[in-house]
Amino acid sequence: MFRFDPYSPAIDADPFPYYKTLRDDYPAFWCEEAGMWVLSRHADIVTALNDWQTYSSAKGNLVDELPNRAGATLGTTDPPRHDRLRALIQKAMTKRALDHIIEPTRAVSTGHMEAVQGEKTFDFVNDLSSKVTVDLLFYLFAMPTEQQDEVRDNAVLMVQTDPKTRQKGPEHIAAYEWMANYAANLVKERKKNPGDDLLSNFITAEIDGESLDDREVQLTVTTLIMAGIESLSGFLSMMAYNLADHPDARRALAADPSLIPDAIEESLRYNTSAQRFKRCLQKDIELHGQAMKAGDFVMLAYGAGNRDERQFDDPDTYDIARKPRGHLGFGGGVHACLGASLARLACKIFFEEFLQRFPEFERVQEQLPWVPSSNFRSPMQLDLAVN
Ligand code: HEM
């Protein structure tokens, strides 16, 4: 009998054969281990993303949700409340705010790259992607740097799940509570002394004379810290992993950095960090012969939709010239990633600098240690040998 267990090491190591079986033979699959349906075809996922009235996020969007998060922040509310929160952040993320990050991103990236230059091998995750994204987020939010390591360690833990119990463990919940408390203090302090940073812009943003209440601000800042550090760092690592395994693509990018933005889109399609998110059905539906009930949870397997041959030609080929329109690397619909422009920009700058310094590298480990997570797929360590 076919099983799809998102907590298993086999799925961490290579989810793609499982995704193909799901798409071809079980397009609406009841996953016993997660206790929810799985949708894997691109068209079904897009339909779900465009119909928040049926596929609600208000019961949480993490496959294993953190306590008291559902219904309270950006990824976990439906319109109209969601739209209000989103508009306020969008107001803070102006073009000017993004232009502001170009030089700092270059500076933090090159700083950490120079620290490993001359080494024969280094760990891309712990020496580079994680350090760069933490520095960048601290810069964006003008956060005091003393607690940088604690913030990073807790952000990493929050997104994890205990594969044995198939739930968040006490350490993951404690990390989330630590972060919520940290965010509360940060917001309190920033309200007293606002500056010209993204966090201050967000706290003070108003729409029609209305601003956010303290709890909304606190939970949204917690979400932004989690996404700003973990989603971005996980994706940088996955892009390095893709480029390690596709030397021709890597050499083409090193020779012509103007190709990097297209390669980022293809990495978001081909093999990315944000693999699976959750919704909750608001009414009974029938899909592919399955009766799905109001109140059932549904996993949207973005990573599977991104390899759907019904949408993309030759989907298992990593082709940096593809321009994969409609990929699901940033989700879609009302919950499409709010940090997408920022992430694309940061990633482009990072790899411009990285490939200039390290045009030749290969993976040292055959098997990678994967972050234990039912949502995300990224390595905890990625040792690269450089020439
Ligand atoms: C390349 C890096 C990133 C990837 C791959 C990524 C991916 C995603 C995905 C797939 C979603 C949709 C979740 C769902 O369907 O429920 C999402 C939502 C979101 N992302 Fe990102 N993300 C990245 C970077 C960032 C950054 C840097 C930030 C902020 C600083 C951010 C903030 C958010 C927020 C706030 C949402 C929720 C939006 C909403 O519900 O309206 N992300 N992200």
Domain assignment of residue 84, yes or no: yes
Token pair listed for 20: 């193909």
Probe target for ligand 1 pocket from 235, 280, 337, with the most ligand atoms within 8 Å of CB: 337
| Residue with the two structure tokens 């009998």 | 1
Task: Tell me the DSSP string of 220-237.
Answer: HHHHHHHIIIIIHHHHHH
pLDDT digits (tens, 9 = 90+) for 303-327: 999 999 999 999 999 999 999 999 9
- For residue 359, the model assigns a pLDDT of 97
Question: What is the mean pLDDT of the segment spanning 29-54?
Answer: 97
Task: Using the atom order of ligand 1, give the atom closest to the CA of residue 236.
Answer: 1
Encoded amino acid at 30, one letter: W
- For residue 233, the model assigns a pLDDT of 96
- Residues of the domain holding 180: 48-277+308-372
pLDDT digits (tens, 9 = 90+) for 202-216: 888 776 777 777 888
Query: Among the listed ranges 106-110, 154-158, 236-240, which one has the minimum average pLDDT value?
Result: 154-158
- φ/ψ (deg, to 5) at 279: -135, 170
Cβ atoms of 220 and 85 within 8 Å: the answer is yes
Task: State if residue 330 touches ligand 1 by the CB under 6 angstroms criterion.
Answer: yes
Task: State if residue 76 touches ligand 1 by the CB under 6 angstroms criterion.
Answer: no
| Residue with the two structure tokens 């499409």 | 336
Cβ atoms of 234 and 156 within 8 Å: the answer is no
Q: Is the pLDDT of residue 95 over 90?
A: no
Domain assignment of residue 18, yes or no: no
Q: How confident is the model at residue 96 (pLDDT cuts 50, 70, 90)?
A: confident
* Mean model confidence pLDDT for the chain: 94
Question: What is the mean pLDDT of the segment spanning 182-191?
Answer: 91
Domain assignment of residue 297, yes or no: no
Encoded amino acid at 326, one letter: G
- For residue 67, the model assigns a pLDDT of 86
- For residue 267, the model assigns a pLDDT of 98
Task: State if residue 273 touches ligand 1 by the CB under 6 angstroms criterion.
Answer: yes
Task: State if residue 74 touches ligand 1 by the CB under 6 angstroms criterion.
Answer: yes
The CATH number given to whatever domain includes residue 326 is: 1.10.630.10
Helical spans, DSSP H, in the chain = 9-13, 16-25, 42-49, 81-92, 95-99, 102-116, 130-140, 148-158, 170-192, 198-204, 214-226, 232-245, 247-255, 260-270, 302-305, 340-357
Task: State if residue 134 touches ligand 1 by the CB under 6 angstroms criterion.
Answer: no
Task: State if residue 85 touches ligand 1 by the CB under 6 angstroms criterion.
Answer: no
Q: How far is the CA of 336 from the centre of ligand 1 (A)?
A: 7
Question: What is the mean pLDDT of the segment spanning 270-294?
Answer: 98
Task: State if residue 224 touches ligand 1 by the CB under 6 angstroms criterion.
Answer: yes
Domain assignment of residue 312, yes or no: yes
Task: State if residue 75 touches ligand 1 by the CB under 6 angstroms criterion.
Answer: yes
Domain assignment of residue 41, yes or no: no
Q: Is the pLDDT of residue 240 over 90?
A: yes
Task: State if residue 227 touches ligand 1 by the CB under 6 angstroms criterion.
Answer: yes
Q: Which residue has its alpha carbon closest to ligand 1 atom 41? A: 335
| Pairwise CA distance, residues 91 & 94, whole Å | 6
Q: Which residue has its alpha carbon closest to ligand 1 atom 37? A: 75
Nearest to 74 by CA among 227, 283, 272: 227
Domain assignment of residue 26, yes or no: no
Q: How far is the CA of 217 from the centre of ligand 1 (A)?
A: 17
- For residue 110, the model assigns a pLDDT of 98
Domain assignment of residue 80, yes or no: yes
Domain assignment of residue 21, yes or no: no
Q: Which residue has its alpha carbon closest to ligand 1 atom 31? A: 339
- For residue 348, the model assigns a pLDDT of 98
Nearest to 322 by CA among 307, 335, 336, 333: 307
Q: Which residue has its alpha carbon closest to ligand 1 atom 7? A: 330
Task: State if residue 337 touches ligand 1 by the CB under 6 angstroms criterion.
Answer: yes
Q: How confident is the model at residue 219 (pLDDT cuts 50, 70, 90)?
A: confident
- For residue 212, the model assigns a pLDDT of 76
pLDDT above 70: percentage of residues in the chain? 99
Please report, to the nearest 10 degrees, the dihedral formed by the alpha carbons of residues 113, 115, 119, 123 taken in order.
-70
Number of domains in the chain: 1
- For residue 292, the model assigns a pLDDT of 98
Query: Among the listed ranges 45-59, 71-85, 247-261, 309-323, which one has the minimum average pLDDT value?
Result: 71-85
Cβ atoms of 85 and 212 within 8 Å: the answer is yes
pLDDT digits (tens, 9 = 90+) for 110-158: 999 999 999 999 999 999 999 999 999 999 899 999 999 999 999 999 9
- DSSP letter for 115, please: H
Residue 92's CB: how many other CB atoms inside 10 A?
A: 17
Q: How far is the CA of 75 from the centre of ligand 1 (A)?
A: 8
